[in-house]
A = this chain, B = another copy of it.
Amino acid sequence: MQVSFGIIGASGYSGLELTRLVLAHSSASLKFATSDRWVGQTVASKTGLPCELAYVSVDAGLAAARGCDLVFLATPAESSLDLAPKLRAQGVRVVDLAGAFRLQDLSLYPTFYKFTHSAPALVKEAVYGLTELFRDAVRGQPFVSNPGCYATAAAMSVAPLLEAGLIDPSSVVINAASGVSGAGRKATEDYTFMEVDADFRAYKTLSHQHVPEIRQTLTRVAGVDVPLVFTPHLLPMKRGILSTTVARLKAGVTQAQVSGALADVYGRERLVGLRANADAVRIAEVVNTPKCLVGASTDGHHVVSISAIDNLLKGAASQAMQNANLMLGLDEVDGLV
């Protein structure tokens, strides 16, 4: 089967990675890619891969979308909020990489995304695509909301332990650190080399927009509310997220049970690497790959469970492709390995 994809927002860091994945897909063709800043330039010149297309405007992309099997939105949340309904109204399948449809509780958008949601019906239709956790819900669906980068890493480190009932849901503390590409292609002084190199700091402490997203995922998995604390940090490097979760073990829980719970969920996953302990998980091993590494250590009282992903791939583009493949009935890892 041959499928055709379109990409809206192809010049952001995630959009650029996604374009490369589409071009590497064995049964997909790229029908269009939009970019305001690169209109008229060739896709080949930016991706380094053979492609005869040039970037077009969003309007041109929308016009071309009808003929696509699926369109990826790699836009800011405000743009997705506007574009997703238009595409869905045309019957086009959509994977939205932005945050505009991730939260089922509409009351959270004003606080965390600074808008009142204008398409509440579509929120209900949106399937949350954290693939390894919710694969069956994604399969064959027409509209998937792709998880945030931190939300992917954080949830994958701890969801299996909550699902297995091994930890106290009220004790989850997550510290994460991300490379600079997580901030997008911004030219503000905060992200100049002079500000970022040789520094490390937290940001959006107790207020990051991925907090309710992680909570929604963990609560769904645990069956009870999981009121976690999440603190993101900025690393002096380009790509990658490490997420370190600390939680209290329920009485008597052993390392074997923890390792077993991770193996139950991830043991057969082609894009997850299980490690023997938390120290064996590192960012360098996942950068430029669609993989997630997970490993956990315990001391009888607490578990430290660590995950690592490439924020632009498993945290955005490659997970979007996993979901697109599932939506279309293709091999989930096509274009990825």
What are the interface flags for A186-202 relative to B under an 8 Å C-beta threshold, 1 for contact and 0 otherwise?
11110111111111111
In whole angstroms, how far apart are the Cα atoms of A171 and B194 in the complex? 36
Q: Which of chain B's residues have a CB closer than 8 A to the CB of A173?
A: 173, 246
Given that A192-B192, A298-B206 are known contacts, is A237 also in contact with B197, CB under 8 Å in the complex? yes
One of B194, B207, B233 near A238 (C-beta < 8 A): B194
Instruction: Tell me the residues in window 284-327 of chain A with beta carbons closer than 8 Å to chain B beta carbons.
Output: 284-285, 287-289, 291, 297-299, 301-302, 304, 306, 308
Minimum CB–CB distance from A249 to chain B (whole Å) comes to: 11
Which of B189, B244, B285 sits near A233, CB closer than 8 Å? B244
> How far is it, in angstroms, between the C-alpha of A195 and the C-alpha of B186 when the chains are bound?
11
Is A205 interfacial (CB-CB < 8 Å)? yes
B188 touches A187 (CB 8 A): yes
A154 within 8 A of B: no
Shortest beta-carbon distance from A166 to chain B in Å: 16
Contact partners of A301 in chain B: CB under 8 A: 227
Stretch at the interface among A26-34, A64-72, A96-104, A274-282: A274-282
Are A205 and B279 CB-contacts (below 8 A) given A185-B189, A191-B194, A244-B231? yes
User: B229 to A198, Cβ gap below 8 A?
Assistant: no
Check if B198 sits within 8 Å of A284, measured CB to CB.
yes
- Sorting the interface of chain A by its residue count into under 10, 10 to 19, 20 to 34 or 35 or more gives 35 or more
Q: Which residues does chain B contribute within 8 Å of A207, judged by CB atoms?
A: 299
Instruction: Give the nearest-CB partner of A284 in chain B.
Output: B199
Contact A289 B48 (CB under 8 A): yes
Q: Are A231 and B304 in contact (CB under 8 A)?
A: yes
Chain B hits for A80, CB < 8 A: none
Q: Does A218 contact B (CB under 8 A)?
A: no
A235, CB-defined interface residue at 8 Å: yes
A194, B185: Cβ atoms closer than 8 Å: yes
Report the separation of the CA atoms of residues A297 and B235 in the bound assembly, to the nearest whole angstrom.
20
A189 to B186 alpha-carbon distance, docked (Å): 7
Chain B residue with Cβ nearest A237: B198
Taking CB atoms, residues of chain B closer than 8 Å to A43 are none
| Known contacts A206-B304, A231-B304; A236/B199 CB under 8 A | no
Asked, given contacts A284-B199, A289-B48, whether A236 binds B205 with beta carbons under 8 Å apart, the answer is no
* Given known A173-B173, A187-B188, A246-B231, contact A278–B202 (CB-CB < 8 A): yes
Which residue of chain B is the closest to A299 with respect to CB atoms?
Answer: B206
Q: Does A180 contact B (CB under 8 A)?
A: yes
**Is A87 in the interface zone, CB < 8 Å from B?**
no
For A235, what are the chain B residues with a Cβ–Cβ distance below 8 Å?
200, 235-236
CB distance from A277 to the nearest CB of B (A): 7
Asked if B282 contacts A201 (CB within 8 A), the reply is yes
CB–CB B284/A229 < 8 A:
no
Contact A197 B193 (CB under 8 A): yes
Closest CB of chain B to A175's CB: distance in Å? 4
| 9 A-B pairs with least C-beta separation | A201-B282, A199-B284, A175-B175, A193-B196, A187-B189, A173-B173, A205-B278, A206-B299, A205-B297
